[in-house]
Structure 1
């Protein structure tokens, strides 16, 4: 076995120590806080990315954060549907779901994706539990329609999130993995867009951070035309304008809607990250650099607002007040 010179080994050790030291303030800040991560895209099909993501989320758990994974299964649903001779059709970024497609959704999400993600997280060492949106009334939905009132079949729009089961799991130090199938008032199971479900869950849990993994580096001002128009920060007001003006790629609309809903629901930090980048979630949470697109409230970033609120709480405790 080759032996590294002492100076080289020392330099490598110093680099590792610097990384840990940089992460410490962020670990301290988010200790005990809930982080909702919408897991999807290429990160769900590439074997290296799948294992890396599971290990990263397990690390979040072990350093004291409370991660919740919410997943869809677009690639898996599409592949299984094709094998069964069914054609996938989308309206406004939402999958039109008839009875046959709903069977495919159940098989893909509950029978394939959810058990796989749970297994990967458990293999990484974290106690993980698979959860369906129909469990304990978690995702209560109504029939959804397209942007122009189109009939989407068995697609559900989240009306209410009952967090009691997720809270019980988190307090028991389990890591929930949520498959986004919901149930309406008539007891009918419906396919719920994973982005929209994740945003609703983040708001209902009072999460400190909502992370949405995508297959692009972030949100573009002019996607597909100007690769230099990647937006490192964007305000909620800008996002609402882009939605209203129909300036977004159809597949991005549910993601942006989910982030707007989460932030308006009280989540102080939201991020769009490239799930194809190894350790993107760790880089965003535990380093000063950050990646992707950060959502802002306007003049100040949500991170600034969060830090100021935390500082106010510390000052209040120091003066004998109640935070």
Structure 2
């Protein structure tokens, strides 16, 4: 038989124990970065999600959309200010954010998954009062982020209902405050909070990096809380990786079995991480 055929069979056999182990389990995926803007990677992501559902897993997608928001704001002549890496979001900007995240981006992801045979349903965190948010404080009296929020509570009943009916939830990270104000929330935070609420098998954060790297640029994986604390102290984990690692670790400490920070620039990164021995990112465990 051709070598390619034998290789395909080997891959399927390697995937079998993972398919059996994760059958019926919820996997929450934060979808963002290059995987959302590169056409080939978008197709790869959609196929991965459909494949996961087809073999019995329950993928739940939480997506970002920063580049798409910035592009739309530029087209309407609205300038954007960032403070501490956060987009200052006034009421007018929030209208654009909600339109882009809850409309354009969300529906594109839903359409793409459905075009590959999935049954995706697009949601905003406002639907079914799923995400209750509160205003994010800067901790500085002279800095106001506007309509930037953080998760106060999660009502997962709508997601659980959709999972039971074999749908794939696709969620925009927008929530409502008790005062009825709409807030834009970091997608990593929403994914982590939702994974914790669902006691998911896995939380997967797709990024534009290979994962957590040591000072020699080598990938670190199988990290525990103690190891993470060590790498923070010696400066190995720093900058933009800090909040992602904290999000992943908090989810594990709240009952999620494992968290993964994976390279969304790799074709079929999801399947490679979930269904192969080697994976393509950093695994964080309790």
Q: Output the TM-score relative to the length of structure 2.
A: 0.93
Equivalent in the alignment of 1:275: 264
Answer yes or no: is 1:44 the counterpart of 2:36.
yes
Equivalent in the alignment of 2:176: 183
- Count matched residues: 284
Equivalent in the alignment of 1:303: none
Equivalent in the alignment of 2:23: 31
SS of the residue aligned with 1:108? helix
Instruction: Label 1:65 to 1:158 Cα distance change in 2 as closer, same or farther (>3 A).
Output: same
Equivalent in the alignment of 1:134: 126
Query: Displacement, 1:257?
Result: 3.0
Equivalent in the alignment of 1:154: 147
Structure 2 unaligned spans of 5+: none
Answer yes or no: is 1:145 the counterpart of 2:134.
no
State the structure with bigger RCO (CA 8 A, min sep 6), 1 or 2. Answer: 2
Rounded to whole Å, the distance in 2 between the matches of 1:96 and 1:245 is 32
Equivalent in the alignment of 1:206: 199
Equivalent in the alignment of 1:317: none
Equivalent in the alignment of 1:174: 167
Rounded to whole Å, the distance in 2 between the matches of 1:38 and 1:282 is 14
SS of the residue aligned with 1:88? coil
Instruction: Label 1:95 to 1:263 Cα distance change in 2 as closer, same or farther (>3 A).
Output: farther
Q: Contact conserved, 1:91 with 1:146, CA < 8 A, in 2?
A: no
Equivalent in the alignment of 2:211: 218
Matches within 5 A, 1:7-86: 7-8=1-2, 11-86=3-78
Rounded to whole Å, the distance in 2 between the matches of 1:239 and 1:95 is 28
Equivalent in the alignment of 1:124: 116
Rounded to whole Å, the distance in 1 between the matches of 2:232 and 2:176 is 27
Instruction: Label 1:237 to 1:189 Cα distance change in 2 as closer, same or farther (>3 A).
Output: farther
Query: Displacement, 1:100?
Result: 2.0
Q: Contact conserved, 2:27 with 2:200, CA < 8 A, in 1?
A: yes
Query: Displacement, 1:19?
Result: 0.9
Q: Contact conserved, 2:257 with 2:285, CA < 8 A, in 1?
A: no
CA shift digits 1:112-164 (9 cap, x unpaired): 10000000000010111001100111111111023657421101110110001
Structure 1 unaligned spans of 5+: 1-6, 298-323
Answer yes or no: is 1:197 the counterpart of 2:186.
no
Answer yes or no: is 1:291 the counterpart of 2:274.
no
Q: Output the TM-score relative to the length of structure 1.
A: 0.83
Query: Displacement, 1:12?
Result: 2.3
State the structure with more CA Rg. 1
Q: Contact conserved, 1:193 with 1:254, CA < 8 A, in 2?
A: no
Rounded to whole Å, the distance in 1 between the matches of 2:214 and 2:91 is 37
Instruction: Label 1:147 to 1:256 Cα distance change in 2 as closer, same or farther (>3 A).
Output: farther
Equivalent in the alignment of 1:105: 97
CA shift digits 1:282-313 (9 cap, x unpaired): 0111111112111133xxxxxxxxxxxxxxxx
Instruction: Label 1:148 to 1:21 Cα distance change in 2 as closer, same or farther (>3 A).
Output: farther
